[in-house]
Structure 1
Amino acid sequence: MNMVTGHSAPLSKEANMTPRAKRIVGKSIVVTIIAVVATFALSFTARLALQMPIDWLSWVECTFIPILIGMPVSAYIFAQAETIQETCDKLEKSYAALTEAHDRLTFVTSHDPMTGLLSRGEFIARMGRKRDEGECDTLLLVDPDHFSLINDEHGHSKGDEALVRIAKALVYLTRPGDSIGRLGGEEFGVLLRDVRKEQAITIAENIRRLIEVSPMVKGQQEGMKLTVSIGGAAIPPDADAQDVLRTAGRCLFEAKQRGRNRVSFDYEATKLRVVTP
């Protein structure tokens, strides 16, 4: 029993050493062994070259001096290195967490929380991007028909579901390089990058048809139908974003006036700078 007890204490101390302490001690032992071997090699080589005797004191000096000096010095250096590494790891984790928080904040401030689409400010900022000469984007304004009736007759939760349904249709029928935003309560904007009027009309018609034939919500009630009206306007290189929005808004109003559930591009790009009196 005593023998077992006598050997258990060192083992428990070794087992209780932290990984950090084990690394420091292990590296220090390796460095000390190298120092002892190097001291023996240099000292004995010098003594033999100078024809000096190698006595027991030489063995003691070459063994204990490197241990007494090298072990604590190397342990201190490795401990400082571990501390620096731990600090760097913490800083790296803090930077990653800060970057993630910044990305989340940027997304929240630039996107609509309900649909996940761009906010009005971010969408208009993308409309104002610099375009090369001859490059022409197209803006679509998408607005659900009789949306107030959906809210009044079926509740705001159904209205929210309708908006999400429209947002999904817009994402489905546009390209990754296009921009989609929620510009107001129920109005959406689609920025078709480097797409001219003819192709834009086709895309707008596809959006209108998809929303018309898709069930608005699960368990849709009789007579509960969702349609949209779409107004479009070209965005030439030198166009002002607000002028384009006004032109597309007039086209959207024209689509509503003509019976809704339709696409209108009646205002030409040459009228973008005409100010409404």
Structure 2
Amino acid sequence: MSSIILKSATIAFVSVAVSLLLTLIIVPAMGFPVNRMIWLTSTLCPLVLAWAACASTFWHSDRLKSAHRDLARTHAQLAAAHRRLAEKASRDDMTGMLNRESFFAVLNGSRHKPDRGALLIIDADHFKMINDSFGHLTGDDALLLIASAIKRGVRDGDVLGRIGGEEFGALLVGATEREAKRVAEHIRREVEMIRFRPVDERTIPLTVSIGGTLCDESASVSELMRAADRRLYQAKHRGRNLVILDTDISEAA
């Protein structure tokens, strides 16, 4: 408020000075004497009118600037909230990984990239038995341990998603066949090392079977999923707790 008063007063005094200067020039030129009434009129009118007009203008200008700042701040907060909601909507509530839809969207978005990498499907072994024997809450605890092990097993930049109840997907960005096998084995070992003790001191083994394939540039999401799923089925059929990768997806096409 003090700045408004100061700026208004400055303009008002400038207006008075200009008014007096014009009065001293024009009134004598018209043949009239410069009396007290003319002096007062030339001083008070611009002083009052200019100060009031300027004060009102500056006050409204400051309010408008403040409203713009509040609007910009609110817009930024709404944008941040929208990003948080969008991020939350794309995530699985339990594991924090991408949900099925979001993971497939990322996988589809990786098409036509020369460094597309490899796709792994990771499935918890005998998970129904854990749910049936100990209940679904205990099963959730086991699932969280498996999810954490998978996160430890992948590299920075790889994309993880929960694509089923106890099934996970991993897009190993830019991975070669050798790197994909190494990451898959790392995941398998991380899960195998879990010591899960839901009741007393008895340890319940947790393992995963993993099927994977290199992501051909022209392959669709469904083709990649069928290829990796077939390798997963082979891993299950051969005794579980196993990794099988096959770079040839022509069978699944």
The alignment's TM-score, normalised by the length of structure 2, stands at 0.84
Partner of 2:135: 155
Q: CA offset at residue 39 of structure 1?
A: 4.3
Partner of 2:218: 238
Partner of 1:198: 178
Partner of 1:70: 50
Partner of 1:260: 240
Work out whether residues 141 and 252 of structure 1, in 8 Å CA contact, stay in contact via their aligned partners in 2: yes
Question: Cα RMSD between the aligned structures?
Answer: 3.0
Seen in structure 2, the aligned counterparts of structure 1 residues 35 and 114 have a Cα distance that, compared at 3 Å, is: farther
Question: Once the two structures are superposed, what CA deviation does each residue of 1:141-160 show, in whole Å capped at 9, x if it has no partner?
Answer: 11111111222223322221
Question: Once the two structures are superposed, what CA deviation does each residue of 1:211-270 show, in whole Å capped at 9, x if it has no partner?
Answer: 211334798842222211111011111001111111111111111121111111146233
Q: For structure 1, list consecutive stretches of 5 or more residues without a partner in the other structure.
A: 1-20
Partner of 2:104: 124
Question: Once the two structures are superposed, what CA deviation does each residue of 1:72-94 show, in whole Å capped at 9, x if it has no partner?
Answer: 11122123213322332332233
Partner of 1:183: 163
3-state SS in 1 of match to 2:213:
strand
CA distance in 1, matches of 2:47, 2:189: 85
CA distance in 2, matches of 1:172, 1:213: 12
Residues 1:79 and 2:59 are matched in the alignment: yes
CA distance in 2, matches of 1:145, 1:44: 100
CA distance in 2, matches of 1:79, 1:159: 64
Out of 176, 193, 209, which is 1:213 matched to?
Answer: 193
Partner of 1:10: none
Question: Once the two structures are superposed, what CA deviation does each residue of 1:90-112 show, in whole Å capped at 9, x if it has no partner?
Answer: 32233223323322331232111
Partner of 1:174: 154
Work out whether residues 251 and 267 of structure 1, in 8 Å CA contact, stay in contact via their aligned partners in 2: no
Q: Which moved more, 1:67-76 or 1:95-104?
A: 95-104
Out of 81, 87, 90, which is 1:107 matched to?
Answer: 87
Seen in structure 2, the aligned counterparts of structure 1 residues 68 and 236 have a Cα distance that, compared at 3 Å, is: same
Q: What count of residue pairs does the alignment treat as equivalent?
A: 252
Report % sequence identity: 34
Work out whether residues 211 and 235 of structure 2, in 8 Å CA contact, stay in contact via their aligned partners in 1: yes
CA distance in 2, matches of 1:65, 1:113: 71
Residues 1:35 and 2:35 are matched in the alignment: no
Q: Which moved more, 1:55-64 or 1:75-84?
A: 55-64
Work out whether residues 214 and 246 of structure 2, in 8 Å CA contact, stay in contact via their aligned partners in 1: no
Q: CA offset at residue 126 of structure 1?
A: 1.2
Seen in structure 2, the aligned counterparts of structure 1 residues 267 and 238 have a Cα distance that, compared at 3 Å, is: closer
Q: Which moved more, 1:262-271 or 1:217-226?
A: 217-226
CA distance in 2, matches of 1:89, 1:106: 26
Work out whether residues 127 and 139 of structure 2, in 8 Å CA contact, stay in contact via their aligned partners in 1: yes
Residues 1:251 and 2:231 are matched in the alignment: yes
Q: CA offset at residue 170 of structure 1?
A: 2.7
Partner of 1:8: none
3-state SS in 2 of match to 1:270:
coil
CA distance in 2, matches of 1:184, 1:116: 14
Work out whether residues 24 and 75 of structure 1, in 8 Å CA contact, stay in contact via their aligned partners in 2: yes
Q: Which moved more, 1:193-202 or 1:79-88?
A: 79-88
Seen in structure 2, the aligned counterparts of structure 1 residues 139 and 66 have a Cα distance that, compared at 3 Å, is: same
Out of 177, 187, 206, which is 1:226 matched to?
Answer: 206
CA distance in 2, matches of 1:215, 1:257: 25
